[in-house]
Structure 1
Amino acid sequence: MSHDDSSTPAIVSLLAGGIAGAVEATATYPFEFAKTRVQLREQKGVPTPRNPFLVVANVYKTEGLAALYKGCSTLAVGSVAKDGIRFLSFDYVKETFKDPETDTLTPLRSLGAGMMSGIVASLLAVTPTERMKTALIDDARTEKRFRGATHAVVTVWKEHGILGLYRGFAGTTLKQAGATAFRMGTYNILKDYERTRQIPQTVVTNFANGCVAGIVTTLATQPFDTIKTRCQSSQGASTVEAFKSIIADYGMKGFWKGTSMRLGRTVFSGGILFTTYEWAAALLNPAFAKAKQKVPI
């Protein structure tokens, strides 16, 4: 978003966001896998280590490299839709909210724009893909009845209907609304601050801003993420049941289970996501501008 946001066509926001989402999800998936494993209920006699690198190493030794990417295709496809929709809706809402004189948003309006785009993304893309990703990871360590992502979707649909794909919608939407508010909002606040101070926008500043946004997002929204994971396990649970089970298993500190794993991912994912978005948008903008000029009026 260091480029001129007002000149970014909707199709560029959508495509650049989708590309960024796919790259980010694939590059950081082992951390997402480790975080999800930790948040699911432990098997008796098999305690889960807290160190994300240890979780990844143990799974690699016992189950192989393929196990670390269980559910990755579902998340990657979902991330294309999620981040495409998220950047598109954020850019649209931001244009509506911004002060036309300063061409910037207040910090509160930046957070509000991010929250609205998070709700839209949760409804249209995030909840069903997160549900299937979590179910695949949980199933791989317990019943092993899903043969793959497609088989998991078909099985859940047959057993529970469309509501089965939206299991954990409340927790996911709360998480997405909060996460997108803090991630997109923090990034936009930093960019506006840098613009007013005439700080050059480079790959380094984009990556650093994304990392900061990732840290803020993780610390602010971890409880929602833990509840969502419990809701979306292979057996499933309501938001209330998930809340109660976390309290019963770990007490209040259980809501912050997997924070170190998620930080390991979101710090880098924020940097990767926004840097890739800026690169893709800068690449696509001239291409679409040229194409538009060639279209006869």
Structure 2
Amino acid sequence: MSKKREKPIHSLIAGTSAGAIEAFVTYPTEFVKTRSQFGGKREPPLTIIRTTLATKGITGLYSGCSALVVGNAVKAGVRFVSYDHFKHMLADPEGKVSPARSLVAGLGAGVVEAIFAVTPSETIKTKLIDDAKSPVPRYRGLVHGTVSIVREEGVRGIYRGLFPVMMRQGANSAVRFTTYTTLKQFVQSTAPPGQTLPTAITFGIGAIAGLVTVYTTMPLDVIKTRMQSLTARQSYRNSFHCAYRIFTEEGLLRFWTGTTPRLVRLMLSGGIVFTVYENIMRVIGTSEDGDN
């Protein structure tokens, strides 16, 4: 018997809710990761936290947060709706999706979310964080920063770094969804038929998916951050030139700068997003487990 397809509106509601909650809870780790990836002197994560708290206070760790919360909510909504759509297209008659097809569905979902949600929000967030390092920041917040960037650079200004974002999000979603779906199907195969997975198990599977995602996609994340910084136009001709300069001037390991805070965030992110998503889907009427 085939499983019932998730309704797009349910996936959208559950995805946007999960994305907003996850972004706010984990934002300080995103702030530290982004700061550590800028060019110049390397600062350990704890140094960045101490310096920011001393000069900006606790609110300093949330510089650019509103851009990420809004963008993450839209991103997660688009991601789950897109993934469910692609997954349905690629599923067999019984509704099952092989790891290879899950990889393709995740790749498609990542590219879609990069174009419609991630690139604008990530560019604005990165510029706000970069600007916040100044003694007297130019941008007064999300709205003022967005308006200023568009006025000075045009719409292209908030789409800077689109290519590395598409590559990162495609790889992120492909790896994360494939890992999550494969592990979930394995755990379900060992459980009694029809049994709902406990929240702790769902969180754990999501966290493992986040762990795998971090180490496989970190170089793309570093390139993305550099291409969206305030000095990108003066420093890099394109993403390939950026990667070349990082490799030749700073070394191979620089591509994994910010791994620790991103690892913390994506493990928490994977656990939070999939747990919130599954539970909201269950509450509002349908879930991937076939609940009504």
Compute the TM-score of the two structures, normalised by the length of structure 1: 0.89
What is the rounded CA distance, in whole Å, between the counterparts of 2:48 and 2:177 in structure 1?
30
User: Could you give the per-residue CA deviations for residues 87-119 of structure 1, whole angstroms, max 9, x where no partner exists?
Assistant: 001011111111113x31111111111000000
Shift, 1:192, TM fit: 1.6
Question: How big is the alpha-carbon RMSD for the aligned residues of Structure 1 and Structure 2?
Answer: 1.7
Tell me which residue corresponds to 2:280.
Answer: 280
Specify whether residues 138 and 245 from structure 1 end up closer, same or farther in structure 2 by C-alpha distance, changes over 3 A only.
farther
**Alignment partners' CA distance in 2, 1:108 and 1:54:** 42
- The one of 48, 56, 61 aligned to 1:68: 61
Q: Which residue of 2 aligns with 1:260?
A: 260
1:284 aligned partner, one-letter code:
I
Q: Which 4+ residue blocks in structure 1 deviate beyond 4 angstroms?
A: none
1:30 alignment partner in structure 2:
28
Structure 2 match to 1:191: 184
1:209 matched to 2:205? The reply is yes
The structural deviation recorded for 1:7 is: 4.3
Matches of 1:6 and 1:53, distance apart in 2? 47
1:90 aligns with 2:83: yes
Shift, 1:127, TM fit:
0.3
Q: Tell me what 2:102 maps to.
A: 110
TM-score (norm 2): 0.90
Q: Which amino acid aligns with 1:64?
A: G
- Cα distance in 1 for partners of 2:227, 2:3 equals 37
Q: 1: distance between equivalents of 2:150 and 2:241?
A: 22
Residue 239 of structure 1 deviates from its aligned partner by 1.3
The residue that corresponds to 2:115 in the other structure is: 123
Output the CA distance in 1 between the equivalents of 2:232 and 2:47: 27
Q: Over residues 215-246 of structure 1, what are the superposed CA-to-partner deviations in whole Å (9 max), with x where a residue is unaligned?
A: 01001100000000000012334313422342
Shift of 1:53: 4.1
Structure 1: which 5+ runs fail to align?
Answer: 287-297
**Of 157, 166, 172, which residue of structure 1 is paired with 2:165?**
172
- Residue 247 of structure 1 corresponds to 247
User: Residues of 1 paired with 2:280 and 2:124: CA distance?
Assistant: 28
CA contact (8 A) 2:67 2:125 kept: yes
Quote the Cα distance in structure 2 between the aligned partners of 1:224 and 1:28.
20
**Equivalence for 1:292:** none
CA contact (8 A) 2:107 2:170 kept: yes
Q: Percent identity?
A: 40
Measured in 1, the distance between the counterparts of 2:231 and 2:250 equals: 20
Aligned mates of 1:134, 1:235 — CA distance in 2: 11
TM-superposed CA distance for 1:56, in Å, is 2.1
Are the aligned partners of 2:5 and 2:88 in contact in 1 as well (CA < 8 Å)? no
Q: Partner amino acid for 1:172?
A: V
Aligned to 2:289: none
C-alpha displacement of 1:62:
2.4
Q: Distance in 2 between matches of 1:248 and 1:70?
A: 31
Query: How many residue pairs end up in the alignment?
Result: 277
Amino acid at match of 1:275: T
**C-alpha displacement of 1:155:** 1.2
Shift in Å, 1:6: 2.5
Q: Is the 8 A contact 1:6 1:95 kept in 2?
A: no
Q: What are structure 2's unaligned runs of at least 5 residues? A: 287-292
CA 1:93–1:245: 2 relative to 1, 3 Å: same
